[in-house]
Amino acid sequence: MNANPINLSPLYHRCIFRSSSRVDCHEEAARELAEHRLRWREGNADMVLHKANLRGIGVYLLRYGAEVEVTPRPSNDFVVFHWSLCGLVEMVCDGQRAVLLPGQTGWMFPRRSWNMRWQTGSEQLIVKVPTSLINAGRRLDNEVLPSFGLLPAKFEPQWLVLVQTLLATISGPTEAEGYDAWSSQLERLIVDFLLMGAASVVGRGRNHQPQAHPTLGTSASGRDRHPIDRMENIVADRLGAPWSLNDLAEAAGVSPRVLQIACLRERNSSPMDVLRNMRLDAAHRRMQASCFASVTETALDCGFGHLGRFSTYYRERFGELPSETCARRNAKNPVSRLEAATHS
What's the rounded Cα separation, in Å, for the pair 112 and 254?
34
3-state SS of the chain: helix, strand, coil percent to 5? Answer: 45, 20, 35
CATH 2.60.120.10 fits 9-202, yes or no: yes
pLDDT band at 240 (very low <50, low <70, confident <90, very high): confident
Question: What is the number of alpha carbons within 13 Å of residue 185 lying toward its C-beta?
Answer: 7
Domain ranges for the chain, please list them. Answer: 9-202, 214-343
DSSP state at residue 225 = G
Please state the rounded mean pLDDT for residues 136-162. Answer: 74
pLDDT band at 139 (very low <50, low <70, confident <90, very high): low
H/E stretch holding 242: none
Of 152 and 139, the structure prediction assigns the larger pLDDT to 152
pLDDT at 223: 40
pLDDT digits (tens, 9 = 90+) for 310-336: 999 999 999 999 989 888 887 776 544
pLDDT band at 205 (very low <50, low <70, confident <90, very high): very low
pLDDT-wise least confident of 168-172, 207-211, 320-324, 337-341? 207-211
Q: Is the pLDDT of residue 186 over 70?
A: yes
pLDDT at 49: 97
Residue 152 · residue 197 · CB < 8 Å? yes
pLDDT band at 201 (very low <50, low <70, confident <90, very high): low
Of 297 and 226, the structure prediction assigns the larger pLDDT to 297
pLDDT at 140: 52
pLDDT band at 142 (very low <50, low <70, confident <90, very high): very low
> Judging by DSSP bridges, how do beta strands 114-118 and 68-72 pair with one another?
antiparallel
pLDDT at 70: 93
pLDDT at 14: 94
Nearest to 12 by CA among 171, 176, 174: 171
What are the C-alpha distances in Å from 251 to residues 115, 168, 280?
33, 45, 20
- CA 228 to chain CA centroid, Å, is 19
Rg (CA), the chain: 25
269 Cβ partners below 8 Å, 6+ apart?
Answer: 263, 277
pLDDT at 91: 86
Q: Is the pLDDT of residue 131 over 80?
A: yes
Q: Is the pLDDT of residue 211 over 90?
A: no
Percent of the chain at pLDDT exceeding 90: 31
Q: Is the pLDDT of residue 138 over 90?
A: no
> Considering Cα of 53, then 113, then 103, then 193, what sign does the dihedral take?
negative
pLDDT band at 3 (very low <50, low <70, confident <90, very high): low
The answer to pTM > 0.95 is no
pLDDT at 177: 85
Q: Is the pLDDT of residue 343 over 60?
A: no
What's the rounded Cα separation, in Å, for the pair 1 and 5?
9
How is domain 214-343 classified at the CATH fold level? Arc Repressor Mutant, subunit A (1.10.10)
Nearest to 25 by CA among 13, 11, 39: 39
Residue 61 · residue 50 · CB < 8 Å? yes
DSSP state at residue 196 = H
pLDDT digits (tens, 9 = 90+) for 11-59: 999 999 999 999 999 999 999 988 899 999 888 999 999 999 998 999 9
- CA 87 to chain CA centroid, Å, is 2
Beta-bridged to residue 37, according to DSSP, are 71
Angle at 269 between CA 318 and CA 43, to 5 degrees: 65
Rounded to the nearest integer, the mean pLDDT of the chain is: 82
